[in-house]
């Protein structure tokens, strides 16, 4: 079974600073995918970024980048120039195959990020 | 292109009543996943459905819970004889027929918050 670990229950960062949210994973599958989702206080789940295990480069999406270290089995999310609107819960997730080519997501416990003005 | 729709957004039930949660996937998506989020936890997979078929229900409690995705209409997650421990946020996600080959991303609805009194 695959497992996702987020060791930071909460983080406090000053506005405009960069922040790194940690995520480590455990899997025996050679092919896997890692996701980050943001959950603001309103509750919805917002997809941020994806990294495939065979991707040659680290994924980037605007202010979000993924520091993917395959040997260490880590996929940390980096948010540059943090903004007040970045305050939210952040979840790291890994896809786990289901039959018929589909996949379910296995989530970590989440990190609550608070951006201070 | 409307996103994943879920209703109701909030649902209050008394112990012993039935709860029905509805999910309409994004247009063009025929795979539906249900997840449950207990307070202060990450999302946990419950069931995966395609039109008229339950593909994987390994995360669904054996009793009182059922799910369907009929040929016409939304997917329904039904909880019979609810108990206080069923209080949680229930999320639906959908993905395309041929998964996005670069991300296989699941797109989440806003969730239904169930409160059992």
For residue range A68-108, list pLDDT tens digits in order: 999 999 999 999 999 999 999 999 999 887 776 677 899 99
CA distance A107 to B38: 12
Residue range A40-65: average pLDDT?
Answer: 92
- Tokens 């979840």 locate to A91
- How far is A21 from chain B, CA to nearest CA, in Å? 15
Half-sphere exposure of B17 (CA within 13 A, CB side): 13
Verify whether the Cβ–Cβ distance B41 to A109 is below 8 Å: yes
- Tokens 């899997």 locate to A27
**A114 — contact with chain B (CB < 8 Å)?**
no
* B33 touches B93 (CB < 8 A): yes
Token readout for B98 is: 């041929």
Token readout for B26 is: 């994004």
Express each pLDDT in B46-93 by its tens digit: 999 988 889 899 999 999 999 999 988 999 999 999 999 999 999 999
Token readout for A109 is: 């416990």
pLDDT for the residue B102: 39
Verify whether the Cβ–Cβ distance A102 to B89 is below 8 Å: no
Kindly tell me if the per-residue pLDDT of B99 is higher than 80.
no
Mutate to test the interface with A, among B7, B32, B43, B110 (most CBs of A within 10 A): B43
- What is the chain B residue with the closest CA to A100? B55
* B55 touches B46 (CB < 8 A): no
Using a CB-CB cut-off of 8 Å, the residues of chain A touching B104 are: 33, 95, 103
Token readout for B33 is: 């996943």
Q: Which of A34, A67, A76, A26 is nearest to A53 (CA)?
A: A34
- How far is B31 from chain A, CA to nearest CA, in Å? 8
Q: Is A2 exposed, middle or buried, given 0-12, 13-18 or 19+ CB atoms closer than 10 A?
A: middle
Verify whether the Cβ–Cβ distance B111 to A44 is below 8 Å: yes
């Amino acid at each position: 079974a695959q497992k996702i670990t987020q060791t930071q229950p909460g983080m406090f960062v000053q506005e405009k600073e960069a922040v790194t949210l940690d995520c480590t994973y455990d899997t025996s599958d050679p092919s896997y995918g890692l996701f980050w989702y943001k959950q603001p206080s309103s509750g919805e789940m917002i997809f941020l970024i994806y990294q495939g295990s065979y991707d040659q480069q680290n994924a980037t999406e605007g202010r979000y980048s993924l520091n993917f270290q395959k040997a260490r089995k880590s996929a940390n999310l980096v948010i540059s120039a943090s903004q007040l609107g970045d305050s939210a819960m952040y979840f790291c997730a890994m896809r786990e195959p289901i039959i018929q080519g589909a996949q379910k997501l296995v989530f970590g416990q989440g990190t609550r990020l608070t951006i201070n003005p | 292109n409307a996103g994943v729709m879920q209703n109701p957004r909030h649902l209050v039930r008394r112990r012993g009543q039935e709860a029905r949660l509805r999910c309409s996937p994004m247009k063009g998506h025929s795979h539906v996943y249900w997840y449950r989020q207990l307070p202060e936890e990450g999302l946990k997979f419950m069931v995966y459905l395609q039109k008229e078929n339950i593909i994987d229900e390994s995360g669904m409690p054996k009793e009182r819970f059922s799910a369907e995705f009929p040929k016409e209409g939304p997917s329904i997650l039904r909880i019979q004889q609810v108990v206080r421990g069923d209080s949680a946020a229930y999320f639906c996600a959908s993905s395309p027929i041929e998964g996005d080959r670069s991300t296989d991303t699941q797109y989440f609805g806003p969730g239904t918050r169930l409160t059992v009194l």
